[in-house]
Amino acid sequence: MTDPIREQIRILRWETPAAVQQRQALADEARSALITALERRLVCRPGVKDALAVWDLDPLPQRWTVSADAQLSYTRSHTDDAQAHAQARFGVPDEIRQLDPAVAVYPQRVIEVTPLPAGNDPPTVRWYRITVQVRLHVWATASRSADAHHAARTAMQAHLPALAAAGIVLTGLTWLADSPDDSAVSQSSSAGQSTADDDLAAATAERAAAFDALVGLRRKIRARAIRALVDAEFDGPYQPSARRVDRFLTGLGLDALPRAHHITVVVELTLLVVARTVEQACDAASQVMRAVTSTGLGAAWEAYGGAESDYATGEHGRWRVPWRHEYETWLRGHATSADAGAAAHAAVRVALHHTLAGLAHELMTVTATVHTAGIDQFLDPESD
């Protein structure tokens, strides 16, 4: 009979590396998509750098200069000792300048300039074996210093056979650490390591850690993408930018951004106010309507408008003050424009009913107009 504890541990061990792999795949896809967007100039470089940092992913590739010290030995012909020493001190063989990828070589100190036995060359030509301490600069494109150093070493090793064929020898290569080795072990690299066969608690904890890392990355990616929209980090109108973000998220297997209907609600009414002057009457009307036009309907409702003082009329201290304001909002959760318009209309009437309860007024019209449906313009990075 199968031991239920061991069977549970076996399942946990299967699920843990699967979650680790999903997180790594998501990280790779998100980073690749961002770099592609940057290359297409759809996003800005500072925004991409910030997003990668927030998501704990490798930074953008950059060009590194990797340096090394070495001894360079080669044979060249010169007319005399002075010319040979000048070449050793200030020059390098042309074959080095022609390497691809490029390598820069700077002589630091002459170690030896040795005349070779005369051969069949003219008397004006002498051959010298030159050995010089040099500093090398190799360029590599990578995200991290360690990767750049590895690429530089690989490139230099590939050059050595061609140089040797031309009689040029580099020995004693010593690579210099231009910056700290910032190669980091992947956060998920240790997840999913085997525990003891009967350690259910440890296996459960490892699985929880792996899934927490996966869910955490999904949440960070979504929140940062929405933050870019909320903070207007993209050039151009909102909806095209929102659609690009939406495609980015859904391309990574994340949920689409919330949809909503864009609605304008126009309110026209007349307030009956007691005041001595038209200015006082309009001020009183503004005080009454402040609640409904500011916080009465929530943050997703923007209101503008006010008393129409030019059309206010008064007699014996009683004033009729026409009032007009408009709401602009995005409402979620409605299948059709008609449903969304009806919901907005009802919400405004409820807010007006509470605000104007007990006050003398004449409600004239409340008109809701649905303009379009699209991605909600009032997104919250923490909850959406």
pLDDT digits (tens, 9 = 90+) for 166-211: 999 999 999 987 544 343 333 434 444 555 556 888 888 999 999 9
pLDDT bin (cut points 50, 70, 90) of residue 101 is confident
Strand locations in 126-206 (E): 126-142, 169-175
| Interval 124-137: pLDDT, tens | 778 899 999 999 99
Mean pLDDT taken over the chain: 86
With H, G, I as helix, E, B as strand and everything else as coil, classify residue 281: helix
DSSP 82-125: HHHHHHHHH---HHHHT-SS-EEEEEEEEEEEEEPPP-SS-TT-
SS3 state at 41:
coil
- Rounded distance between C-alpha atoms, residue 332 and residue 376, angstroms: 7
Which residues lie closer than 8 Å to 80 by C-beta, 6 or more apart?
A: 126
pLDDT for 341-372, tens place per residue? 999 999 988 888 887 877 788 877 899 999 98
Nearest to residue 302, comparing CAs of 362, 350, 344, 353?
344
Identify the three-state secondary structure at position 62: strand
Q: Which of 152, 61, 168, 74 is nearest to 116 (CA)?
A: 74
Residues with Cβ within 8 Å of 201's Cβ and at least 6 positions away in sequence, in order, are: none
Q: How far is CA 356 from the centre of its chain?
A: 48
Q: Which two tokens stand for residue 35?
A: 């770099």
User: pTM above 0.75?
Assistant: no
Rg of the chain over all Cα atoms, to the nearest angstrom: 37
pLDDT band at 2 (very low <50, low <70, confident <90, very high): low
Q: Which residues are CB-neighbours of 151 under 8 A, at least 6 positions away?
A: 66, 140, 141, 142
Q: Write down the pLDDT at residue 9.
A: 83
Task: Specify the DSSP element, H or E, that contains 364.
Answer: strand 361-375
Amino acid at 12: L
Q: Nearest-5° angle of CA 381, CA 382, CA 383? A: 100
Of residues 289, 306, 283, the one with CA closest to residue 361 = 289
Dihedral of alpha carbons 19, 24, 29, 35, sign:
positive
376 — pLDDT class (breaks 50, 70, 90): very high
Lowest-confidence range among 30-44, 288-302, 338-352? 288-302
Share of the chain above pLDDT 90, in %: 48
Task: Extract the tokens encoding 154.
Answer: 């690989």
**Residues 260-268: what's their mean pLDDT?**
93
Could you count the other beta carbons within 10 Å of the beta carbon of residue 184? 11
